């Protein structure tokens, strides 16, 4: 079997950070906060988070923070949004630097985006989507502030987006899609509500995403793509059905999508690489217990040691003491 | 980035790209400047539309345009100006969608503009746009979502939209999005019992015919099969709520024998003294098992009349590993009266339910069959020679060399004696006539196709046969001998060969059929039930031990048929999960050795087994997997289902860190094991052994060695 060219991927990620001027980088400039999360989490999974200077990253991140409304934008000058606020919180958790945040204010911003029906808007403009339910719930859980929202309503809204194939859509009636399923299953996992999922039905739908080439697609009769390694695998793990796919075949598919010369992973073999797919490829390998990688938590999308630090670490110890 | 080839740019392309980049950078900089200075002139708006045409994903630009619209229309009353402003927005969106038909920002901007209600919506234009986009990509889920939005805005009837899905499907059967939308619309109409949709049977029959066309045209295409599975589920899943099993078995005639110390008791049927239960406490369990997970079992929905105490004091507990208060199986405990002072000799325990409508399943059906049954319990305080109480000293070994076979097992097939639902079953079957006929038709149809070696045909056939058997046996065993399980097992064998990628799925499905087969077969159960009667000082020797080892089981099912089991040997199977075992409330000894359990969190159901004392999980895979697949299926701080109210320091000594062993700590702190075997797991080392002995003060034996005197 082909190996993971880990060092090349590290080099690639570090180079992307510096390359800002070509058209492809510019197109993605508004979501650089997501890019930072993808790149840095990949580095951490490869045990190379030490290659970046946390202070440099954090000071840039804080320039994306909006003092007035307390959310993070995707880059300096861009508007605040849940998508980037979650990424920012995740990156700070990676560096164990959540202390730089005004946690009350950030969590107020997130909680303030909950609507009357339990759903979440991504920002003040009101687009509603179960992706934002996940962002809000994951973010507040990391900050230990889940009590600021109506969790029961949030869960009921997600359940109302459940489809007859066992999957979930972006709003009630929306078609099941692996990315959307991850968001809904992840939010239900974090809120202890996975009993709302028909695990056999959804598990079968998800495992049928694996196609002849070994890769996974995101919906029936679509092309396979490395990014679904993350969305599908993490969902299958959360519902304890990941053994229903062939891990060896999927591992080979991901490894075949590597740019073995310059590093990085692409959506499909021989396509152009990007940070997004590099993260999802490495994340997928981690979820399949590929040797030498840190393991990733399927719900929080952070390395397991980071999640354990958040929930069982020293700073949490006082509230764990016997009453 | 999707679908871009991995090739270095040619010099001339690189030059074009650089020029494009320069333009984009300039537009982005201008936009942010206008945005921050709130400049909403038409020149500034033109910059943003140029930018969005190049890069529709840049969300801040859409936000800017929304602010601009609000600002520019703030004091405008002229409907023509309003109309042209709205037109401008819709045009920018259309341009953006031409660049990227999957741009979230563009689609939402259109919805946002139309939802303002500023100008009358030109629905023709909206549907025309949708037609164009769905023609270009019939699976664009943004397009479908937008179609539902526009249809709702215009109050288009569901029937009309169903016709649209029909047209889309007829153009191309392989359109999962259209099938999906059809299932959404149909289930809405069926739920509302709308005109023409009040007969579920009629509608579903038509749908079966419709989907058959797709399945026959291309059996390897997934789209229709998922729809067919939904139809099957609509046909076969139970609406009615039944009680399918209970312990004790209705009509049981039991002798309860206790000693003067009152630290436990022995229970056996009047007919058979050699088979008895030992309970190491003064409570008597009553277990109810429903065909669906239910909530609302309480002393007001279930009445227990007995001399054992007032009904309203009884607390019913759902046997569920979640916080949902919903479970198939519920238990309550009666207090045993003090035999020394009581003159009581025999008493009856009468259970009734169905008198009020509080028991509800997750799909909303109510339990509604009035039902009454009783047991007789004779109290006796002379019969108990010597009683070991809790202190089981002897090491129990699962050794079948010195065992004997019981002559009869009165508890086996207790569900069979639960005659309670026979009337309702008969009635139910009559209601299900259409369902059974439909299932038979489908079975015959796919049997004809099964020669073609298509995995979906075989899998569907297996599912149909299982559904048919399940429907025939609802609540009672009407067709024990005529089940299709052999046929289904064969189909799964073939599927494993046909589609090895999903082998483990088929193995799990096969395991359910195996469990069903084994637990239904009285002969098999008799052959696999033992007494360890050579054990001297232990009270185990009277327990009946069911041996289900070496059967290739990968998961548990049909626990309702095993409520009577006190010792269960599941060793040498392929179990990864033990979900379902929580119903076995009488279980004292459990052997899970040589399976594939890969984490302590997978053992969560054990926390609900109050009587469990002996546990063997040796030679599993605990600790061998960095990814824990049941991490979110147990109660824990990670899922906010457990407030850890124990001292972290207590387990944080030396090399042991709470964070490293929280799964084991949260599991074992609630168990009262006297024997535990964890040998042959990656987690088992000396330090871990110390942690276990600290956590389990009741433990006498760890890994076959004496822990303390
Ligand atoms: Zn992709």
B436 or A151, greater pLDDT: A151
Percent of chain A with pLDDT over 90: 89
* Segment A268-309, tens digit of pLDDT: 999 999 999 999 999 999 999 999 999 999 999 999 999 999
Q: Could you tell me if B203 and B267 lie in one domain?
A: no
Please report which confidence band the pLDDT of residue B403 belongs to, taking 50, 70 and 90 as the band edges. Answer: confident
What is the total count of domains within chain B? Answer: 4
Q: Apex CA A114: angle with CA A70 and CA A154, to 5°?
A: 135
The 10 Å CB-count burial string (b at 16+, else e) for B564-579 is bbbbbbbbbbbbbbbb
* Record: contact B627-A190, CB cut-off 8 A: no
Residue of B nearest to A186 (CA): B632
Domain CATH code at residue B21: 1.25.40.120
Q: Could you tell me if B555 and B629 lie in one domain?
A: yes
* Whole-number Å distance between alpha carbons of A310 and A70: 22
How far apart are the CA of B505 and the nearest CA of chain A, in angstroms?
5
User: What angle, 0 to 180 degrees and rounded to 10, lies between the N-to-C axes of helices B176-192 and B158-171?
Assistant: 150
Q: Could you tell me if B530 and B515 lie in one domain?
A: no
How large is the C-alpha radius of gyration of chain A?
Answer: 19
Q: Could you tell me if B513 and B529 lie in one domain?
A: no
Evaluate if residue B110 carries a pLDDT over 80: yes
Residue of A nearest to B658 (CA): A312
* Record: contact A267-B625, CB cut-off 8 A: no
* Record: contact B6-A277, CB cut-off 8 A: no
Q: Could you tell me if B253 and B358 lie in one domain?
A: yes
**In B141-188, which ranges are E strands?**
none
The last residue of one of the domains, among B197, B221, B236, is B236
Q: Is residue A320 part of a domain?
A: no
Q: Which of residues 179-238 of A touch B (CB under 8 A)?
A: 189-195, 203-205, 207-208, 210, 219-222, 225, 237-238
- Pick the range with the lowest mean pLDDT from A210-214, B333-337, B692-696: B333-337
Contacts of B631 in chain A (CB under 8 A): 238, 297-299
Domain CATH code at residue B253: 2.60.40.1220
Residue of B nearest to A192 (CA): B639
Q: Could you tell me if B72 and B202 lie in one domain?
A: yes
* Segment A232-253, tens digit of pLDDT: 999 999 999 999 999 999 999 9
Cα of A165 from ligand 1 centre, angstroms: 23
* Whole-number Å distance between alpha carbons of A206 and A270: 25
Q: Could you tell me if B287 and B157 lie in one domain?
A: no
Q: Could you tell me if B527 and B441 lie in one domain?
A: no
Contacts of B503 in chain A (CB under 8 A): 246
* Whole-number Å distance between alpha carbons of B278 and B400: 21
Q: Is the ipTM of this complex over 0.85?
A: yes
Q: Could you tell me if B337 and B347 lie in one domain?
A: yes
Burial class (CB in 10 A: 0-12, 13-18, 19+), B254: buried
For residues B19-27, give the mean pLDDT. Answer: 92
Q: Is residue B677 part of a domain?
A: yes
Contacts of B326 in chain A (CB under 8 A): 195
Nearest CB to A175; choose among B58, B177, B230:
B177
Nearest alpha carbon to residue A206 among A175, A176, A248: A176
Mean pLDDT over the full length of chain B: 87
For residues B105-134, give the mean pLDDT. Answer: 95
* Segment B586-615, tens digit of pLDDT: 999 999 999 999 999 999 999 999 999 999
Q: Is residue B264 within 8 Å of B276, Cβ to Cβ? A: no
For residues B235-259, give the mean pLDDT. Answer: 83
What is the total count of domains within chain A? Answer: 1
Q: Is residue A318 part of a domain?
A: no
Nearest alpha carbon to residue B399 among B523, B540, B515: B540
Percent of chain B with pLDDT over 90: 57
Residue B415 pLDDT:
47
For B510-542, give the DSSP string: HHHHHHHHHHH-HHHHHHTEEB-TT--S-GGGG
* Segment B638-685, tens digit of pLDDT: 999 987 655 555 665 556 677 888 899 999 988 999 999 999 999 998
Domain CATH code at residue B654: 3.80.10.10
Domain CATH code at residue B446: 1.25.40
Residue A293 pLDDT:
97
Nearest CB to B659; choose among A193, A273, A312:
A312
Please report which confidence band the pLDDT of residue B481 belongs to, taking 50, 70 and 90 as the band edges. Answer: low
Residue B395 pLDDT:
82
CB atoms within 10 A of CB A235: 32
Residue B694 pLDDT:
86
Q: Which of residues 119-178 of A touch B (CB under 8 A)?
A: 123, 125-127, 129, 141, 146, 151, 163-165, 169-171, 173-177
Evaluate if residue B310 carries a pLDDT over 90: no
* Segment B363-396, tens digit of pLDDT: 888 988 888 888 888 887 665 555 554 455 678 8
Cα of B1 from ligand 1 centre, angstroms: 7
Q: Could you tell me if B127 and B274 lie in one domain?
A: no
Evaluate if residue B475 carries a pLDDT over 60: no
Q: Could you tell me if B324 and B253 lie in one domain?
A: yes
Q: What is the span of the domain harbouring residue B263?
A: 243-390
- Pick the range with the lowest mean pLDDT from B144-158, B529-543, B683-697: B529-543
Domain CATH code at residue A163: 1.50.10.20
Q: Is residue B415 part of a domain?
A: no
Q: Is residue A69 part of a domain?
A: yes
* Record: contact B632-A312, CB cut-off 8 A: no
Please report which confidence band the pLDDT of residue B340 belongs to, taking 50, 70 and 90 as the band edges. Answer: low
Q: Is residue B187 part of a domain?
A: yes
| A195, A290, A299, A303: best to mutate for the B interface, most B CBs within 10 A | A195
Evaluate if residue A317 carries a pLDDT over 50: no
Q: Is residue B158 within 8 Å of B147, Cβ to Cβ? A: no
Contacts of B141 in chain A (CB under 8 A): 169-170, 174-175, 177, 219
Q: Which of residues 7-66 of A touch B (CB under 8 A)?
A: 21-24, 26-27, 29-31
Helix (H, G, I), strand (E, B) or coil at B702: strand
Nearest alpha carbon to residue A118 among A166, A81, A152, A77: A152
Q: Is residue A163 part of a domain?
A: yes
Highest mean pLDDT of the ranges B58-72, B256-270, B646-660: B58-72
How far apart are the CA of B601 and the nearest CA of chain A, in angstroms?
11
For residues A2-20, give the mean pLDDT. Answer: 89
Nearest alpha carbon to residue B383 among B531, B256, B543, B277: B256
Q: Could you tell me if B642 and B533 lie in one domain?
A: yes
The last residue of one of the domains, among B198, B213, B236, is B236
Q: What is the span of the domain harbouring residue A90?
A: 6-312
Cα of B107 from ligand 1 centre, angstroms: 20
* Record: contact B629-A222, CB cut-off 8 A: no
């Amino acid at each position: 079997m082909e190996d993971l060219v880990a060092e090349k991927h590290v080099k690639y990620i570090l180079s992307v950070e510096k390359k800002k001027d070509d058209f492809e980088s510019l197109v993605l400039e508004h979501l650089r906060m997501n890019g930072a999360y993808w790149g840095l989490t990949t580095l951490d999974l490869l045990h190379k988070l030490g290659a970046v200077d946390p202070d440099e990253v954090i000071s840039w991140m804080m320039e994306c923070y909006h003092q007035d409304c307390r959310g993070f934008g995707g880059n300096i000058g861009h508007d605040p949004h849940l998508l980037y606020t979650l990424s920012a919180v995740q990156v700070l958790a990676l560096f164990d630097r959540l202390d730089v945040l005004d946690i009350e204010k950030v969590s107020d911003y997130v909680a303030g985006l909950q609507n009357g029906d339990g759903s979440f808007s991504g920002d003040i403009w009101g687009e509603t989507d179960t992706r934002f339910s996940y962002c809000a719930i994951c973010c507040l859980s990391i900050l230990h502030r889940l009590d600021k929202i109506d969790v029961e309503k949030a869960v009921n809204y997600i359940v109302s987006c459940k489809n007859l194939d066992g999957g979930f859509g972006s709003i009630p009636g929306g078609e099941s899609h692996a990315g959307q399923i991850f968001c809904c299953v992840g939010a239900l996992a974090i809120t202890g509500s996975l009993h709302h999922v028909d695990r056999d039905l959804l598990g079968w739908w998800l495992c049928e995403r694996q196609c002849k080439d070994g890769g996974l697609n995101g919906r029936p009769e679509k092309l396979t793509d490395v990014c679904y390694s993350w969305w599908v695998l993490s969902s299958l793990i959360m519902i304890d059905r990941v053994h229903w796919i062939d891990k060896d075949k999927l591992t080979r598919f991901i490894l075949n999508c590597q740019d073995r010369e310059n590093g990085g992973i692409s959506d499909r073999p021989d396509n152009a690489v990007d940070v997004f797919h590099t993260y999802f490829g490495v994340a997928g390998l981690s979820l399949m217990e590929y040797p030498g990688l840190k393991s990733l938590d399927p719900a929080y999308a952070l390395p397991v040691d980071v999640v354990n630090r958040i929930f069982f670490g020293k700073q949490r110890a006082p509230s764990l003491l016997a009453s | 980035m999707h679908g871009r080839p991995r090739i270095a740019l040619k010099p001339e392309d690189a030059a074009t790209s650089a020029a494009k980049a320069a333009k984009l950078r300039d537009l982005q900089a201008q936009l942010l400047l206008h945005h921050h200075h709130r400049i909403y002139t038409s020149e500034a708006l033109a910059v943003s539309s140029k930018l969005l045409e190049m890069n529709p994903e840049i969300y801040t630009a859409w936000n800017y345009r929304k602010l601009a619209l609000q600002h520019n229309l703030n004091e405008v009353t002229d409907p023509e100006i309003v109309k042209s402003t709205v037109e401008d927005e819709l045009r920018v969106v259309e341009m953006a969608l031409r660049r990227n038909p999957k741009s979230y920002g563009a689609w939402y901007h259109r919805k946002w503009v139309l939802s303002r209600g500023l100008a009358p919506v030109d629905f023709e234009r909206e549907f025309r746009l949708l037609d164009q986009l769905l023609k270009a990509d019939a699976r664009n889920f943004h397009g479908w979502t937008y179609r539902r939005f526009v249809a709702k805005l215009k109050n288009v009837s569901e029937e009309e939209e169903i016709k649209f899905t029909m047209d889309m499907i007829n153009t191309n059967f392989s359109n999962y999005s259209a099938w999906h939308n059809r299932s959404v619309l149909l289930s809405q109409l069926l739920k509302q019992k709308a005109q023409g949709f009040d007969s579920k049977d009629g509608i579903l029959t038509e749908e079966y015919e419709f989907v058959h066309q797709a399945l026959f045209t291309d059996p390897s295409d997934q789209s229709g099969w998922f729809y067919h599975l939904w139809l099957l589920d609509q046909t076969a899943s139970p609406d009615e709520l039944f009680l399918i099993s209970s312990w004790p078995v209705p009509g049981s005639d039991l002798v309860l024998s206790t000693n003067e110390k009152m630290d436990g008791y022995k229970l056996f049927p009047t007919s058979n003294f050699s088979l008895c239960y030992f309970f190491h406490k003064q409570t008597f369990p009553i277990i109810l098992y429903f065909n669906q997970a239910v909530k609302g079992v309480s002393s007001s929905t279930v009445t227990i009349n007995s001399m054992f105490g007032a009904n309203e004091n009884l607390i019913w507990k759902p046997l569920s590993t979640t916080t949902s208060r919903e479970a198939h199986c519920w238990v309550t405990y009666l207090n045993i009266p003090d035999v020394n002072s009581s003159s009581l000799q025999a008493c009856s325990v009468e259970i009734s339910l169905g008198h009020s409508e509080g028991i509800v399943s997750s799909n909303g059906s109510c339990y509604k069959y009035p039902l009454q049954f009783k047991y007789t319990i004779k109290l006796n305080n002379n019969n108990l020679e010597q009683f070991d109480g809790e202190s089981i000293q002897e090491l129990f070994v699962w050794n079948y060399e010195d065992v004997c076979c019981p002559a009869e097992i009165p508890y086996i097939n207790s569900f069979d004696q639960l005659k309670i639902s026979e009337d309702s079953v008969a009635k139910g079957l009559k209601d299900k006539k259409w369902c059974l006929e439909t299932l038979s038709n489908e079975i015959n149809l796919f049997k004809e196709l099964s020669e073609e070696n298509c995995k979906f045909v075989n899998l569907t056939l297996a599912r149909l046969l299982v559904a048919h058997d399940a429907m025939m046996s609802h609540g009672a065993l009407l067709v024990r001998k005529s089940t299709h399980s052999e046929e289904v097992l064969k189909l799964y064998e073939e599927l494993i060969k046909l589609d090895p990628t999903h082998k483990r799925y088929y193995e799990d499905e096969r395991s359910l059929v195996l469990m069903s087969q084994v637990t239904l077969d009285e002969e098999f159960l008799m052959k696999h039930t033992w007494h360890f009667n050579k054990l001297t000082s232990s009270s185990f020797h009277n327990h009946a031990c069911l041996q289900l080892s070496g059967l290739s089981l990968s998961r548990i099912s049909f626990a309702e048929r095993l409520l009577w089991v006190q010792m269960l040997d599941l060793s040498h199977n392929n179990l990864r999960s033990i979900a379902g075992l929580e119903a076995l409330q009488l279980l004292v000894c459990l052997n899970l050795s040589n399976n594939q359990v890969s984490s302590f969190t997978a053992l969560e159901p054990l926390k609900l087994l109050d009587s469990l004392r002996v546990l063997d999980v040796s030679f599993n895979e605990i600790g061998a997997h960095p990814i824990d697949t049941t991490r979110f299926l147990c109660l824990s701080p990670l899922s906010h289902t457990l407030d850890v109210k124990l001292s972290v320091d207590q387990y944080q000594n030396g090399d042991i860190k709470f964070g490293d062993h929280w799964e084991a700590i949260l599991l074992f702190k609630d168990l009262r094991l006297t024997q535990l075997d964890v040998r042959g797991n990656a987690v088992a080392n000396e330090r871990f052994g110390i942690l276990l002995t600290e956590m389990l003060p009741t433990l006498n034996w760890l890994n076959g060695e004496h822990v303390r005197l």
